[in-house]
Amino acid sequence: MSQSVVSYRVAYQRLLAAQQKLDELNISVLPLPQQLNLLKSQQALYKEIQALQIRKMTARTDQFRALTKDFVNAKEGFRSIERWAEEAQKAGAVASGLVRGLSLVLSLL
Amino acid sequence: MKSAIRCYILFAVCLLLMNACTLGASKQLSADASRFAISVELLADVLENQYNRTEIANRIVLRDSIDLQLQLGGNPEVSVDPLFSQRQTLARKSVLMALKEYAKQLSHLLEGETLQSLSTTGITTASDLKKITTQQFDLSHSLNHFQTHKLISSLSGFAKILLLPKRNQELASITARMHEPLRQLSALLYLDIGSSAQDGLHCSLSLPPSLLATEKADQKICKGGLRGLMDNALKVDVQNWKQRASLLSMTRGSTRANRRALIDHIFDLQQLKQDADDLMIEVQQALVLMINAHAELVVSLQRQNRNLTSLSKAENDTGGPLFIFTSEMILIQQENDQVEALFTRIKKE
């Protein structure tokens, strides 16, 4: 999904949705590199959500810009999990919501 | 259990108030102001504790995440950024200190002391208060810049009155003038505590009517602030420990005792998440009760100035605002102690 103009409030909802989808993923079924990607991505989402809660969460219509460098740096990790999830989805191993959640988060970066 | 404790506290406060009934007019007011000051100090201390706990919770989340990544052979960046900058933390401490200082001044004056000059703490507090900016007290999770600026501006009004030399005879007018800045200061803290509610795109909570500015009819509170931060931190840490439990169950060395220890820790975190949020809801309510209690003190002082014999409502009515505020604060103190004990246990894991 290409980067689009979204408000802080919409971005916050996307981050929460992605956080939930990643939380639903069973870490023990993932290969080791994806386990590490998952943990790193969850940490990046956590930091970005906290930054939004302190500052810009309802700066209403202002255009969203990432607030933490961890979130920006986690882009490749999100992509990697997304690729893995797309394959796993074909095999019926994960629900489609995970791919959608990651796609929405990537649209913020 | 909670209601039993509440009954016990109400009974104890009733006994105190019955004793107070035997006091004369000014002594009654002095006793009321003293109880008000003690409760305000407690409220400020509980809130300061929660600011500290939220910051520590942030460190715990990052520590646990980094630790698990290292355990799996990863190479994570080991660093932590505090949630609040030093200046933001100082701004909050100054506001809480000002609140305590005002209540203390009021109490001392009614005990017969004439405060011609302020203590060093009072002068420093008033000075710090005047320097606070919207950058230090960012409430954009619920307010726009103009609304935040207005609330912050009220702090310098509070500081000015704090610096005035006061005599007992002037107290009625000073406390009456102080009521509006005090209300705004409470609204500021109420919003800074924020909300943990998952509201979707629309914020469902409102600022209580007694804290609203008269011209602003409906001030919504969105997820964020202390409650939102703590809620998210503990939610993420619960998830991290669930992942540990899940990974542990896949390893050969996994024992029932190991698994149970992890599960117990997750239970503790879930309990803390709930208790810490409940405590902050109570503190938000206490801010409203504090304003009501202050209004009662203003009326009592005005009546005393007019030499009316009917004294504070608390003297004759044990259900008055001051009584409710002080009772609530005793309960909050106990809840704060429980949260602190649980938090200390979790920190050690």
The closest alpha carbon to A98, from A32, A28, A31, A42, belongs to A42
Over residues B159-216, the pLDDT tens digits come to 666 665 555 667 788 888 888 888 888 988 998 898 888 766 667 677 788 787 655 5
Contact B44/B100 with Cβ under 8 angstroms?
yes
- Arithmetic mean of pLDDT over chain B: 80
Contact A10 B201 (CB under 8 A): yes
Q: Note whether residue A77 is domain-resident.
A: yes
User: By the 8 A CB rule, do B175 and B257 touch?
Assistant: no
DSSP, collapsed to helix, strand or coil, labels residue A57 as coil
Is residue A40, in this structure, part of any structural domain at all? yes
| Residue B158: predicted pLDDT | 67
Banded model confidence at residue B311, pLDDT cuts 50, 70, 90: very low
Predicted pLDDT at A58 = 44
**Global ipTM:** 0.85
Q: How many CB atoms lie within 10 A of CB B140?
A: 22
Interface test with A, best of B81, B139, B251, B270 (most A CBs within 10 A): B81
**Contact state of A9 with B201 under an 8 Å Cβ cutoff:** yes
How much is the pLDDT for B325? 96
Q: What is the pLDDT of residues B4-38, one digit of tens each?
A: 555 455 545 544 444 444 345 577 888 898 999 99
Q: What mean pLDDT is predicted for residues B243-247?
A: 94
pTM of the predicted model as reported, rounded to 2 decimal places? 0.82
Distance CA A19, CA A98 (A): 10
Tokens of B234: 């503990």
| Residue to substitute from B137, B140, B146, B204, interface A, most A β-carbons within 10 A | B140
Give the pLDDT confidence score for residue A3 in this predicted structure. 55
Average pLDDT over residues B318-327: 89
Pair A67, A50: CB distance under 8 Å:
no
B56 touches chain A (CB under 8 A): no
Q: Residue B288: which of B222, B208, B205 has the closest Cα?
A: B208
pLDDT tens sequence across B136-148: 666 665 566 666 6
Instruction: Give the Å distances, CA to CA, from B215 to B24, B71, B119, B218, B222.
Output: 40, 56, 36, 9, 20
Whole-number Å distance between alpha carbons of A75 and A97: 19
Percentage of residues in chain B having pLDDT higher than 90: 38
Tell me if A58 and B61 make a contact (CB, 8 A cut-off). Answer: no
CB spacing of B239 vs A23 below 8 angstroms: yes
Residues of B with Cβ-Cβ distance to A40 under 8 angstroms:
69, 74, 76
pLDDT at A98: 84
Q: How many CB pairs under 8 A join A and B?
A: 89
Q: What's the rounded mean pLDDT across residues A93-107? A: 82
Per the structure, the count of domains in chain A is 1
B153 versus B301: the higher-pLDDT residue is B301
Helices of type H across chain B? 2-20, 25-71, 86-110, 120-131, 145-163, 171-193, 225-248, 256-305, 313-316, 321-348
Indicate the residue of B65, B140, B243 with minimum beta-carbon distance to A27: B243
Q: Which domain holds residue A50?
A: 8-103
Q: Each residue of A35-93: pLDDT tens digit?
A: 999 999 999 999 999 988 886 444 555 677 888 999 999 999 999 989 988 888 887 76
Q: Report domain extents, chain B.
A: 2-348
The per-residue pLDDT for B161 is: 64
